[in-house]
Structure 1
């Protein structure tokens, strides 16, 4: 079968299209003929050897797939690598059969980024009606879903995005106000848009952006950190955390894989919201498997909107 493999760490150029042996049936797993593989920042961290866990080489990236079993059932699931391929093994505990009225393109938006947005907001931040929440990268796959989920909780949403196109999309999805994330004075721009300090901030960049967002939090505010796209993982302003009794929580979706209730419950609700038209999945671009390098280059520029994916049948 065809797969994207990296034999060394580096830029997008290390992603190679190769032939590897087909997979065999494995106990407690679904063997899927993959139709979509999600492209996420976790894959970039794997490629650059900056992931949260060691990445053994050679390695096939991709933690999120949609595919069909030999008997024709469609599943979306989470993996620990191996997604950028024509076949993938997905453990039954983290695989969910896709309803007939949900498309492959919709489903690939939900497994990793949809579930992450759900649990960052509801399980960790516990955002409540009437609170104000700041959502970064609001035009991306995670952010576009988080905007909608936060609004469903009754929150006031301040959406951050780098272009007017992405800010317009965030407003269409329900954001109450938008802020240019590239502005030189991000804290004051957020405070102006929110009308004062905020109760919840989501963070995925690190470095200066993290410190800027912490400074906008109200007393006893909460921040959930779910990424470090800048590569910077230090810099929490301890004095400010103490001064305002701010809670900062880290989030990594694999820590929920062993929970028998959390992910099945959220996936069922996400499917239901999509089927009823209550949540809109936003699709960026879908690339052929052999164009994984292009997909990673686009992801790095952060110029896209919505979900990026690979069509492994092309």
Structure 2
């Protein structure tokens, strides 16, 4: 192990399967990983919080995986050691990576899975799970055309913010749903043409009266009644992309326990009569496209064509979410529906030395 590094680290481990993240995990102390020849050791500085973190702790992504296993999907950090077959000039470089076990102070990652970034800033982190999902889902399934109408649900969230902006860059009219006036203002700032506060407005009524010809493309992550409304409002040849169903994540039975799942029987007729379609999108099926898509998003960000908004949790905790022990609080914050943009935890604990 390189000199100057600690002998131990802390990480989040899933100890039991549950949709209750706080009950499912524990923060443990262990030795730093030993590097394989093609790996680098990254000191993770910023980690991203995702709605699907509780799907992971519930064992929904890989039912064969049994606890204990490491949690977390994405991080931004600094390379602090390299394996024997990795160029030593990578030491000190800032990188982003999308790897299981990211809720860890240090992490061994294959050098082939690194995304180079210009500086150690948290604004790059939303370009990982959230940005890649929006870009690749729209790219693979939306077939956007200038002038089309696009609806983004949960538009003020981590991935919604990217879907809004990418659809605008494609020349579309963009509608976004959200739950507070503050989020309405945020959506307008990032270019959303029509922000709907569903805590005050009836989504079904607004869409039917304002868009009587229907919606061309829907980027949908909420599920339940929202999903049903979106299916019913599709225009002829409309496309609906399902990238999540957050309304069912906290249910121990998942989406199958929601009453709206029973409406699936009517779906074929609804699609047939409109020549419409519903696409599912799961980011980890598109791993071969991550690097190119991330670089494209980074270029848009650095050229000022894309805004990457992060939420460090300072509205609920004055110093923000800092240190690995704050990760459970950050997951709770996401499900409080108060966050705007991507929730990020700074792993540099209060009072610790700077990178």
- Normalised to the residue count of structure 2, the TM-score between the two structures is 0.82
Of 117, 123, 127, 2:144 maps to 127
| Aligned position for 2:113 | 94
Separation of aligned partners in 2, 1:116 and 1:40: 12
Residue 90 of structure 1 deviates from its aligned partner by 2.9
User: Do structure 1's residue 248 and structure 2's residue 278 form an aligned pair?
Assistant: yes
Separation of aligned partners in 2, 1:164 and 1:55: 42
Instruction: Specify whether residues 184 and 48 from structure 1 end up closer, same or farther in structure 2 by C-alpha distance, changes over 3 A only.
Output: farther
| Aligned position for 1:287 | 321
Taking the TM superposition and a 5 Å limit, the aligned residue runs for 1:162-181 are 162-181=179-198
Separation of aligned partners in 2, 1:229 and 1:52: 18
Are 1:66 and 1:74, in contact at CA under 8 Å, matched by a contact in 2? yes
Residue 104 of structure 1 deviates from its aligned partner by 2.2
Taking the TM superposition and a 5 Å limit, the aligned residue runs for 1:25-174 are 25-51=35-61, 54-70=64-80, 71-79=91-99, 81-100=100-119, 103-174=120-191
Where 1:68 maps in the other structure, the secondary structure is strand
Are 2:154 and 2:222, in contact at CA under 8 Å, matched by a contact in 1? no
Where 2:144 maps in the other structure, the secondary structure is coil
Point out the structure with max Rg over C-alpha.
2
Separation of aligned partners in 2, 1:131 and 1:245: 16
Give the gaps of 5 or more residues in structure 2. Answer: 1-8, 81-90, 249-254, 313-319, 350-355
| 1:101-152 residue CA offsets vs partner (Å, 9 max, x unmatched) | xx52111111111111111112221212111110011111111121111100
| Aligned position for 2:5 | none
Where 1:287 maps in the other structure, the secondary structure is coil
Residue 95 of structure 1 deviates from its aligned partner by 1.9
Separation of aligned partners in 2, 1:304 and 1:171: 16
Separation of aligned partners in 2, 1:26 and 1:66: 21
Instruction: Specify whether residues 52 and 160 from structure 1 end up closer, same or farther in structure 2 by C-alpha distance, changes over 3 A only.
Output: farther
Where 1:127 maps in the other structure, the secondary structure is coil
Separation of aligned partners in 2, 1:50 and 1:31: 29
Residue 27 of structure 1 deviates from its aligned partner by 4.2
Are 2:175 and 2:193, in contact at CA under 8 Å, matched by a contact in 1? yes
Instruction: Specify whether residues 54 and 187 from structure 1 end up closer, same or farther in structure 2 by C-alpha distance, changes over 3 A only.
Output: farther
- Normalised to the residue count of structure 1, the TM-score between the two structures is 0.92
Instruction: Specify whether residues 185 and 9 from structure 1 end up closer, same or farther in structure 2 by C-alpha distance, changes over 3 A only.
Output: same
Separation of aligned partners in 1, 2:126 and 2:64: 26
| Aligned position for 2:17 | 9
| Aligned position for 1:239 | 269
